A and B are shown apart, each in its own frame.
Chain A
Amino acid sequence: MSKKQKRNLIRILIAAAMMVVFALLPFDGWFRFGFFMIPYLVIGYDILKKAGKGILNRQVFDENFLMAVATVGAIILGEYTEGVAVMLFYQIGELFQSYAVGKSRKNISSLMDIRPDYANVERDGAVCPIDPDEVEIGTIIVVQPGEKIPIDGIVVEGSSTLNTSALTGESLPKETAEGDEAISGCINMTGVLKVRTTKEFGESTVSKILDLVENSGLRKSKSENFISRFAKRYTPAVCYGALALAVLPPLANICFLHTPPQWGDWIYRALTFLVISCPCALVISIPLSFFAGIGGAGKAGILVKGSNYLEMLSKTNYVVLDKTGTLTQGVFAVNGIHHSQMERDTLLAYAALAECYSSHPISKSLQAAYGKEIDKGRVTDVEEIGGNGVTAYVDQKAVAVGNGKLMQRLGIAYQECTQAGTVVHIAVEGSYAGHILISDVVKPHAKQAILELRKSGVDHIVMLTGDGRKAAVQTAEELGIQTAYSELLPADKVAKVEELLAEKSDQEKLAFVGDGINDAPALSRADIGIAMGALGSDAAIEAADVVLMDDDPLKLAKAIRISKKCIQIVYENISVAIGIKLLCLVLGALGIADMWLAIFADVGVMVLAVLNAIRAMFVKNL
């Protein structure tokens, strides 16, 4: 508890004790009034002061004003105990709220407890810990077993096992050795590592992730905006309602019914109205639910950039998946070399060299199959033709490496391949030299992931790929996806996403899932862009709205389930809180609900809503 909270607790205890004692004492009239003013002022002086200031600043209708009017009214009516009790319970509610919010703030930030406190730098032979902010790029840092890697870099000495679970939610440890990338936020488990930093602390993965999580609440969901608009209108509405309730029925009694006005009774009802009217429960529980949901998702390795995205995710009915790197491992292997007009190794060498500047998985596998050091000096005039391939000069010979479209474009006759997979045609000096068959491996969980997506309520699953039709159909059938579009350029993918966006209704949301490498336009065009396997890829973290830290497609369904749970809690809170309040308002107007029930409607509902909101944090078994 903070100092402020402790002070308030003491005030509550003192006031409560005095209230009970004075209620038992046989005082009457002014004596009674005088005695009850002591606990009332002890517990309520700050509320009264704030209400006064609010009126001076023309901010009349806030909860301080409501409480001040309700309690002063009750005291004037001679209901001293109730007046003090309302103030007392209001303060108890406030204390509980601030305690719960503080607690969940702490819990959620400890979920994402990946901030490194120091970096070990070797100076004059001794290792000393310094502030990670002060470490310059290129510094060698030492990471002991049990410590977090504070800054992104490359391992220059030592080998070890890394625990990435804080970032990815994945418990399987990762081996690392000299020359590997060391990503900040991972915990070094076994050996001592020396890492040469390649980024500043502020640009490192760990800082970017923390920044993202901390700022996620700034993008507000529709529910949050609805509640703040509601609260803004609701409070004044209830105040006028209370005024009408206090004045109109007695006037009606006098003028039309010619009965006694019963001012006291109606004013008492109006005051219960005011107590019920406080919108705290709603206003606090909705952002708290989203905060808890986003925190829980973060723990599972799913970063959501804002509550609006969490809300949209729960309404996802269209999931468009990129094939490569999302459903398949994106690890291509050369499976065969056909129709080669020259030595197989020579053909492979031409292909690998021409593609040596590309980071596309296919070119990587060509290079891997080539197996020798790439001498970039042999390659000149590289030109990449998006979605087609590459043309380049290798050893002064014109080489074209790409798909059938590239061959057509260059007017070169080529042989189709009979097997499924990606076919890389090669032409040297304008004549066809053969093709290399490369096929991709489907991720182990991909099929189950598609099933679970359907189970989570996603009706339309669409696969997009730049690969050939055969490979696309083969993968789609294997995974049980009915709709697949193949041979798409990056721009075609955006067009397909737009087509689907136009087809769906407004309530349904469309998520595009990619690896963030060359599908950034589609990621940003979709309602929700989900980037996968983003650990270590800044581009993906920037472009996407939801970031899955590792590349397990099962996380997709999990993300949707987390969002659904969170939204359900939000709706529960909205409907229960508004429902109970409206019910109590009606009962209060009819004179059935007294001030004690009003206190429950105010404080009790708030406590329930806050406890329910915290539930959104628990996502482990989803």
Chain B
Amino acid sequence: MKKTYKIEVDCANCANKMEEAAKKTAGVKDASVNFMALKMAVEFEENCDPKAVMQEVKKNCKKVEDDCEVYL
């Protein structure tokens, strides 16, 4: 399953870091962050709850870049 979320982040490198962090989150098969459109596309692993996974993704993103937001 694939979903797209709106994000808020200030710099391109931070967006790369968020992508990296999202990819490493358990339950995420692949993730891609588009800094220009401020969007994050997340592909989830089979049988997992996207909502719970996205909470983790958000937490991990905040860890690498304090000044970011993922709108769930």
Contacts and interface: CB of A to CB of B under 8 A. Distances in A.
A59 B68 CA distance: 15
B32 A220 contact: yes
Interface string B54-72: 0000000001101100000
A586 to B, nearest CB: 24
Interface in B33-72: 33-37, 39, 41, 63-64, 66-67
B11 A97 contact: yes
A218 B6 CA distance: 12
Interface string A197-237: 00000000000000000111111100000001001100000
Contacts of B17: 59, 62
Interface in A22-60: 50, 53-54, 57, 59
Given A62-B13, A94-B11, A283-B16, A50 B66 contact: yes
B63 A218 contact: no
A215 B40 CA distance: 9
Contacts of B12: 280, 283-284, 287-288
Contacts, number: 73
B contact residues, range: 20 to 34
Interface string A547-565: 0000000000000000000
Interface in B12-35: 12-13, 16-17, 19, 32-35
Nearest to A59: B64
B67 A215 contact: no
A62 B13 CA distance: 9
A59 B63 contact: yes
B70 to A, nearest CB: 15
A337 interface: no
Contacts of A59: 17, 63-64
A63 B19 CA distance: 17
A101 B17 CA distance: 18
Contacts of B13: 62-63, 231, 279-280, 283-284
A217 B11 contact: no
A214 to B, nearest CB: 5
B66 A53 contact: yes
A512 interface: no
Binding site of B, secondary structure by majority: helix, strand, loop or mixed? mixed
B16 to A, nearest CB: 4
Contact of A214 (B19, B39, B64): B39
Interface in A104-145: 104-105, 108
A503 B48 CA distance: 43
Nearest to B10: A98
Contact of B32 (A218, A280, A290, A291): A218
Nearest to A288: B36
B41 A280 contact: no
Contacts of B35: 101, 217, 284, 287
Given A50-B67, A57-B64, A280-B11, A215 B34 contact: yes
Contact of A215 (B4, B19, B63): B4
A478 to B, nearest CB: 43
B64 to A, nearest CB: 5
Contacts of B33: 218
A214 B37 contact: yes
Contacts of A232: 16
Nearest to B62: A57
Contacts of A290: 36
B34 A218 contact: yes
Contacts of A284: 11-13, 35
Which of A50, A228, A231 counts the most chain B CB atoms within 10 A?
Answer: A228
Contacts of A105: 36-37
Contacts of A288: 12, 36
A54 B14 CA distance: 12
A86 B10 CA distance: 20
A603 to B, nearest CB: 14
A63 B14 CA distance: 10
19 contacts: A50-B67, A54-B66, A57-B66, A59-B64, A62-B13, A94-B10, A215-B39, A215-B41, A217-B34, A217-B39, A218-B4, A218-B33, A231-B16, A283-B13, A284-B12, A284-B35, A287-B34, A287-B36, A288-B12
* 5 closest cross-chain pairs (CB), A and B: A217-B34, A291-B36, A284-B12, A283-B12, A283-B13
Given A54-B66, A283-B13, 14 more contacts: A57-B63, A57-B66, A59-B17, A94-B10, A98-B10, A214-B39, A215-B34, A215-B37, A218-B32, A218-B33, A228-B19, A280-B11, A283-B16, A288-B36
Interface of B: 4, 10-13, 16-17, 19, 32-37, 39, 41, 63-64, 66-67
